[in-house]
Chains A and B, each alone.
Chain A
């Protein structure tokens, strides 16, 4: 397991968001951009609560969806990387 999975992130409260119908929209308050997440992305986003580690999130995804573990790990780290780069989440 990648060491990176021990990390814990939390959502940046400067970006309002909502999950509607298992899809998530995250908005920039100044309406410069918005971010849309699919069902799996939404599950990840909803767990970025400052308490749940990425490995726990990976477990949740594997419990919910029938997917290959390596792919899930790669997708999870890639999405978390993108979100962190856009300052939508931060490491705790």
Chain B
């Protein structure tokens, strides 16, 4: 979409709380066991898992609510028995259909073509390293790197746009710039995020893999050295700006049909099987998550560097129960970014 039109649509969606993007967790099941994964149990409760007709009802209601972008994820979305039906149904309704996947199921061109014919527009794959040993160690599945590489090229050959998610952890940091370079050569957009969240039940185990302060400093310095526009710069926003887009321009649905403010905030507004989207979207719980503004945050001594903070109320709530308080890790990342910013400013002043 052209930039101006996209900006206009995005603004409208935030101002009027139109959920332009909805993430659908089709299943909690997965064929990998990533060491950092936030999913708590890789199982679905058979008594609660949605039938295809439930998903169809939800898709129709999201359509009426104004959703344009649907992200199918999980767990591993391709393991859902309704995966292709939902993909096709969503495309027929006019959604921009995308997936986030580990790629393990996409192993022949017929499968990739079926995705393309089903209307898949974008496949985002989670690739952690170019080194198979590191990737496979992170996913706990031997051979997963080779399979994912195959999936990336099959999808591209089938004419599907591909992009990459690469989490920054202590385990894969060393090779992260090789990954950037490779993605660049292949013309694939790569997002690298250091924010490893706790498990959905608050278990902090995944956070043990977070990049250390030293690694983060090296990472942001190196990025800034390599690419002019990669220097972390503060985002200046008025204090009455919203903290994030949850329950406004985006929402999420879990495998049991519960409507959430976003993927990270796991406080359900209610069941979309029992109630309508419109009713849940107008509920007190939804309004509560829609309201938070920057001025409502307890920033303390980090007020001055808030512009460098990637504060996520969902991540914070999971981690210490207080959505409006920064996590220690958010503070560390912001401090590192601010330090690197100052270092490079000093250099350019000299």
Binding site for B on A (CB under 8 A): 11, 13-14, 16-21, 25, 27, 29-31, 33-34, 36
Contact = CB atoms under 8 A, between A and B. Distances in A.
B1 A31 contact: yes
B212 to A, nearest CB: 37
A25 B68 contact: yes
Nearest to A46: B94
B200 to A, nearest CB: 30
A27 B68 CA distance: 10
Contact of B68 (A11, A13, A16, A33): A16
B94 A34 contact: no
Contacts of A29: 96, 121-122, 161
B13 interface: yes
- With a 10 A CB-CB cut-off, give which of A19, A29, A30 has the most chain B CB atoms: A29
Contacts of A20: 9, 12-13, 18, 66
Given A18-B67, A18-B68, A27 B12 contact: no
A31 B121 CA distance: 11
The 6 closest A-B pairs by CB, nearest first: A16-B96, A18-B68, A34-B1, A29-B121, A17-B94, A27-B1
28 contacts: A13-B91, A13-B92, A14-B119, A16-B68, A16-B69, A16-B91, A16-B95, A17-B68, A17-B94, A18-B20, A18-B66, A18-B67, A18-B68, A19-B66, A20-B9, A20-B18, A20-B66, A21-B12, A21-B16, A25-B1, A25-B68, A29-B96, A29-B121, A29-B122, A29-B161, A31-B1, A33-B2, A34-B1
A31 B161 CA distance: 11
A25 B94 contact: no
A36 B5 contact: yes
B121 A16 contact: yes
Nearest to A35: B5
B34 to A, nearest CB: 29
- With a 10 A CB-CB cut-off, give which of B12, B20, B97, B121 has the most chain A CB atoms: B121
Interface string B6-32: 100100110010101000000000000
Nearest to B16: A21
